[in-house]
Amino acid sequence: MELDTQLLANVTAFLNIEADMLDNKEYHQWLDLWLESGLYIVPVDHNATDYANALNVAYDDHQMRLLRIERLTSGNAISTQLSEKTVRTMSRFRILDDVDGLVRVRCAYCLYENNKNGIRSYPANLQFKLARDGSSFKIAEKVVKIMKSSQYLTTISYLF
Amino acid sequence: MKTEIKVKNISSTADLVLDDRVHKSLYSDEKIFEEELDKVFNQTWVWLAHESEIPEAGSYKTATIGRQPVIVVRDRKKNIHVMLNRCRHRGATVCEGKTGKTKAFTCPYHGWGYGLDGSLRALPKPEEYENILDKAEFGLIKVRTESYQGMIFATLKDDLEPLDDFLGGAKKWIDLFIKQGGGYPLKAMGDHRFRFPGNWKIQLENTTDAYHFPIVHKSFIASVDEQAAEVFDFLDGEGFVEDLGHGHSVMVMIPELVDLEENLDEPIPARYSDLAKQLADEGHSNLEVRRLVRAVGGGGFNLNLFPNIACSMAFFRNLVPISASETEIHHIALGGEGAPEVFNQKRIRLHEHFQGPMGFGTPDDGEAWERVQAGSMAGTDGWIMLNRGMSRLSTSVDGNVKGAVCSETGMRAAYQQYKKLMSTSSEQ
């Protein structure tokens, strides 16, 4: 097996920035990481492949990302008013392929939230499609497969 | 008007429900919760599934009646059965997972095998049961089930009135609700499931609570266009809440969207102009386009069926009691079987926009409900007020008690049915 450690390092560095922005609620900078055609998806069913025709927990195109960030930051949504910074950890990065300028990568992920009901954790498998953009990347797709998404979740007041 | 009612001398749970208020201990007392499972959920019709969730022979859905696990399944002749999910040998569940398809139910513990109709077909090493076990008597235990317009209900009470009678005045509204499919049969398209730390009745109340909408859902309203925001600005409109009997109620928020097959010549709202164009480009007739566009956003009312299901504008809301202070909610997305893909896709996107754990509506509802549960622990003589609109009631065209859209008429209806059931002796 051939290992491209340079690509892995670049991808990891990019995804760490993405995670750090979300934990620190730098939502507007986070938007700049995206291709406008990109899709942010939290599926209900982890085996789904046709996300457009399936019910998802979230299926955000550019317009919905803008609206969601407005919702998370405007102070109008009572569920977000006391929402603290989250903590997410990622590991086990694996490049799946690198074809025509599009790198597919997946990793292990866990988000911790300090909610009034206690510290809650959300383990997930993350899959990204990253489009090369000079020396960095733009997100073409992010799929968050959270454990229990098809059984039951809690209400969520941040972005995975 | 009385404001203080001491509860220390009240010994019966039914007495904690008055005409205009209920006591907050109904949200938090574990003993009351256990009594509710026995007297409410085990003694009434409970909604379990929509027929489209089990479309084929062998399709099943697991569900619960109160806390009891059941299987809803279609047999080889496509007849629907509801059975307790418990092997007759040593009691293991024989069916797992939310939905699926199977040829039989086999207990994983000792391999007892049951047919889709619940009959015990085979068991390993039968010789040790010689003359002591009649397979005909050891099928999965059947639960009485009846359906209306594809909505499957079941009851553990064999002598309960027929489902038709139980639904009564609600049937008219179910008939209107199923027009969601835009001319195609209604189809479940997956569900959002989440739990919140609060009592099931807080959710039951919420489906018939228009009063909260502009307050709690401010951020949702801010995320839709001006025309849609106007549609959701219904508190001063002609809407109403009607007590339909048996604890059921309908809250009409947008009267002009009650019947989705009427007014097909209305202008197409700007937010659906892309959809209309796509449908027209696919070759659908002008009438078909208009029917689909009118149905895509759902109807203008919430039908709250006691105790666990609502036909809520565009989706089914099913509540599952977990404990006094925890409830699971299922938001089931709906579309049309065989309807154009773009129509169903749009309905799914609209559902995701408001419903579910990351919707623009549900998390804010959840926050309010959590606070109701937390607040219910304060003080001893706390009452939850349900008197809104009581002095301005009228009679509907169907002869029912009717209040303003933001009255608490529907909650009072539900609690009177609750009181009736909780007043029965537990031996029944």
pLDDT value for B4: 56
Domain assignment present for residue A155? The answer is: no
Q: Where do the domains of chain B lie?
A: 46-154, 168-420
pLDDT band at A83 (very low <50, low <70, confident <90, very high): confident
> Residue for token digits 């499972």?
B37
pLDDT band at B231 (very low <50, low <70, confident <90, very high): confident
Nearest to A59 among B218, B220, B352 (CB): B352
- A145-159, B5-19, B22-36, B309-323: which has the minimum mean pLDDT? B5-19
Is the ipTM higher than 0.85? The answer is yes
Q: Show residues of chain A in contact with B316, CB under 8 Å.
A: none
Q: What's the mean pLDDT when you consider all of chain B?
A: 95
Domain assignment present for residue A158? The answer is: no
Q: Which of B233, B263, B262, B248 is nearest to B405 (CA)?
A: B233
Question: Is pLDDT at B205 greater than 60 in this prediction?
Answer: yes
Q: CB of B328 within 8 Å of any CB in chain A?
A: yes
Q: CB of B357 within 8 Å of any CB in chain A?
A: yes
State the best of A59, A111, A155 to mutate against chain B, taking most chain B CBs within 10 Å. Answer: A155
The number of beta carbons lying within 10 Å of the beta carbon of residue B108 is 11
Q: Please state the rounded mean pLDDT for residues B50-69.
A: 98
Q: Please state the rounded mean pLDDT for residues B137-164.
A: 98
pLDDT value for B26: 96
Q: What is the pLDDT of residues A128-147, one digit of tens each?
A: 999 999 999 999 999 999 99
Nearest to A52 among B194, B328, B345 (CB): B345
Q: What's the mean pLDDT when you consider all of chain A?
A: 96
Domain assignment present for residue A17? The answer is: yes
Q: Please state the rounded mean pLDDT for residues B77-89.
A: 98
> Residue for token digits 């109620």?
B249
**For chain B, first and last CA: distance in Å?**
37
Q: CB of B362 within 8 Å of any CB in chain A?
A: yes
DSSP state of B39: I
Question: Is pLDDT at B8 greater than 80 in this prediction?
Answer: no
Q: Show residues of chain A in contact with B191, CB under 8 Å.
A: 44, 55
Q: Show residues of chain B in contact with A42, CB under 8 Å.
A: 358
- Chain B residue with CA closest to A146: the answer is B357
Question: Is pLDDT at B201 greater than 50 in this prediction?
Answer: yes
Packed helices B273-281 and B341-354: angle between N→C axes, nearest 10 degrees: 160
Alpha-carbon distance B300 to B259, whole Å? 8
Domain B168-420 -> CATH class: alpha beta
pLDDT value for B380: 77
> When comparing pLDDT for B234 and B312, which is higher?
B312
Q: Please state the rounded mean pLDDT for residues A92-98.
A: 97
Query: Residue A79's domain is classified under what CATH number?
Result: 3.10.450.50
Domain assignment present for residue A94? The answer is: yes
pLDDT > 90 fraction of chain B, expressed in percent and rounded: 93
Domain assignment present for residue A153? The answer is: no
State the total domains in chain A.
1
pLDDT band at B428 (very low <50, low <70, confident <90, very high): very low
Domain assignment present for residue A92? The answer is: yes
pLDDT band at B3 (very low <50, low <70, confident <90, very high): low
pLDDT value for B1: 45
Residue pairs between chains A and B whose CB atoms are closer than 8 Å? 96
Instruction: Yes or no: say if B407 and B389 are a contact pair by the CB < 8 Å rule.
Output: yes
Q: Show residues of chain B in contact with A61, CB under 8 Å.
A: none
Q: Show residues of chain A in contact with B214, CB under 8 Å.
A: none
Q: CB of B315 within 8 Å of any CB in chain A?
A: no
pLDDT value for B181: 96
Q: Show residues of chain B in contact with A122, CB under 8 Å.
A: none
pTM of structure: 0.96
Packed helices B286-296 and B341-354: angle between N→C axes, nearest 10 degrees: 20
> Residue for token digits 């090369």?
A132
A60: tokens are 């955000």
Domain B46-154 -> CATH class: mainly beta
pLDDT value for B105: 98
B176: tokens are 């209107």
pLDDT value for B213: 93
Domains B46-154 and B168-420 share a fold: no
State the best of A39, A55, A73, A147 to mutate against chain B, taking most chain B CBs within 10 Å. Answer: A55
Question: Is pLDDT at B119 greater than 70 in this prediction?
Answer: yes
Nearest to A57 among B356, B364, B367 (CB): B356
B225-243 in b/e form (b: 16+ CB < 10 A) is: eeebeebeebeebebbbbb
Instruction: Yes or no: say if A90 and A126 are a contact pair by the CB < 8 Å rule.
Output: yes
- The beta-strand segments (E) located in B66-222 are 68-74, 80-84, 99-101, 105-106, 113-114, 120-122, 142-148, 151-155, 186-196
Domain containing A28: what range?
A: 5-146
Alpha-carbon distance A32 to B227, whole Å? 30
Domain assignment present for residue A157? The answer is: no
Q: CB of B333 within 8 Å of any CB in chain A?
A: yes
Q: Show residues of chain B in contact with A157, CB under 8 Å.
A: 363, 367
B77-86 in b/e form (b: 16+ CB < 10 A) is: eeebbbbbbb
- A1-10, A49-58, B59-68, B108-117: which has the minimum mean pLDDT? A1-10
Nearest to A155 among B344, B349, B366 (CB): B366
Rounded to a whole number of angstroms, the distance from the CA of B294 to the nearest CA of chain A is 20
Length of chain A: 160
Rounded to a whole number of angstroms, the distance from the CA of A28 to the nearest CA of chain B is 17
A154: tokens are 């809690």
Domain assignment present for residue A36? The answer is: yes
